[in-house]
A and B are shown apart, each in its own frame.
Chain A
Amino acid sequence: MKTMRRVTILCIFIARLTVTPLLCEQPKPLASSPAAAIEVDMIQAGEISLPAEFQVAVYENLVQELQRQGGFSQVYRDGDRNAANASGLVVLHTTVIGFKQGSELKRDVTTVGGATSITIHCQFTDKEGKVLLERDITGKVRLIGDNLKATDDFAKGAATVAQETLSSNSSLSNPKKSGYKNVI
């Protein structure tokens, strides 16, 4: 009886030792080390035809938003020669995977229809091309604003994701905070 009790206590003790570290495990950051700089590549239209103004607006809003949020010490543009010497550089590649051009007039009149939405596949890689993070991010304008406002909405989402997961002052990966799910 005594031996039985001892064995049971020992089993419980071993089980606790095994389970406790698993329960207390913190989510690991996706990037091996925080990035100090980011280079934004021009958006690729892919198979979807995207008007030139949307293409440029997505790119410019993304650069401005990354600069504004201040997660990275340097934000380089596509083709910037200075990026080659940057340490801890992350490259952001973007491809359009969904685009619906709505109508501002329809939004004004109906208040329910005419939404513009743009879904972009964002791939963050290191200098060598190793994928660090992939996410699909959507930008929308549902009621107030012109169609290009959807690109601003997208840029805010993408910059938040980049800052929270990859930047040098990110508070570790927290996908719940940004509301976007990891693709990989």
Chain B
Amino acid sequence: MKLSRIILWPLVIVLGTLTSLCPAQQPPPAPASIEAVQVIGLAGVKQNTKGSLKVENGSLTFASSKKTCEVPAASIQDVVTGADSQRVIGGTVGTLSRLAPYGGGTALSLLRSKVDIITIQYRDPDGGLHGAIFTMPLGKAESIKQALLAQGAHASIPSQAKSNSDSALQSEAMEQTN
């Protein structure tokens, strides 16, 4: 009887320590607002408007100097991320720079920065389908997507982090069966 108690107590202590050390599974923290460009799609916002994008209180918010637009995460049917590159000097200045002499315009067009693209499709209260495209600094789109999915948005392609964890679980299961 005493022997079993001696074995049980250290076991309980060890298990308790291990449990407290294990990190609790929490949803990914919502990223703070990030600089983004609304390429097209938000009602009342001009094309290629610069602003900040954030996910909070169950909605995606794009705020520019003139207007703030909110899209409820639950109304988002699809979120897709991608990548592209764009000219460092864009807009009218970029177009005019093409006329620079001695191939200066061509040289300037070689200066490009990589950007992330996030594309969403959502429904308005009448059921009408809308689409919106945002570009943002490289590596930011995936966190926005994860935050949107955590707040009720849907996606045809699961987020990279989730698919990685799913594939890890699948490989573990495969190893166990083998």
Mutual binders A and B: yes
Q: Residues of A with Cβ closer than 8 Å to B?
A: 42, 51-53, 55-57, 59-61, 64, 76-82, 104-105, 108-109, 144, 146-148
A-chain residues with CB within 8 Å of residue B110 when the two chains form the complex: 105, 108-109
Main secondary structure of the interface of B (DSSP, over half): strand
Q: Decide yes or no whether B158 CB sits under 8 A from chain A.
A: no
In this complex, the member of A52, A61, A82 whose beta carbon has the largest number of chain B beta carbons within 10 angstroms is A52
Query: A51 contacts B82, CB within 8 Å?
Result: yes
For residues 118 through 164 of chain B, which have their beta carbon under 8 Å from a beta carbon of chain A? 119, 121, 123-124, 126-133
List 16 interface pairs A-B (beta carbons < 8 Å), by A numbering: A52-B119, A53-B80, A53-B119, A53-B133, A56-B41, A56-B119, A56-B121, A76-B128, A78-B129, A80-B127, A104-B86, A104-B109, A105-B110, A109-B106, A148-B40, A148-B133
Q: Decide yes or no whether B117 CB sits under 8 A from chain A.
A: yes
Main secondary structure of the interface of A (DSSP, over half): helix
Q: Which of A53, A59, A79, A144 lies in contact with B117, CB distance below 8 A?
A: A53
Told that A42-B121, A77-B129 touch, could you supply 8 new A-B pairs with CB distance under 8 A? A51-B82, A53-B39, A56-B41, A60-B131, A77-B128, A80-B128, A109-B106, A144-B98
B-chain residues with CB within 8 Å of residue A51 when the two chains form the complex: 82
In the assembly, what is the distance between CA of A53 and CA of B84, in Å? 11
Query: A108 contacts B98, CB within 8 Å?
Result: yes
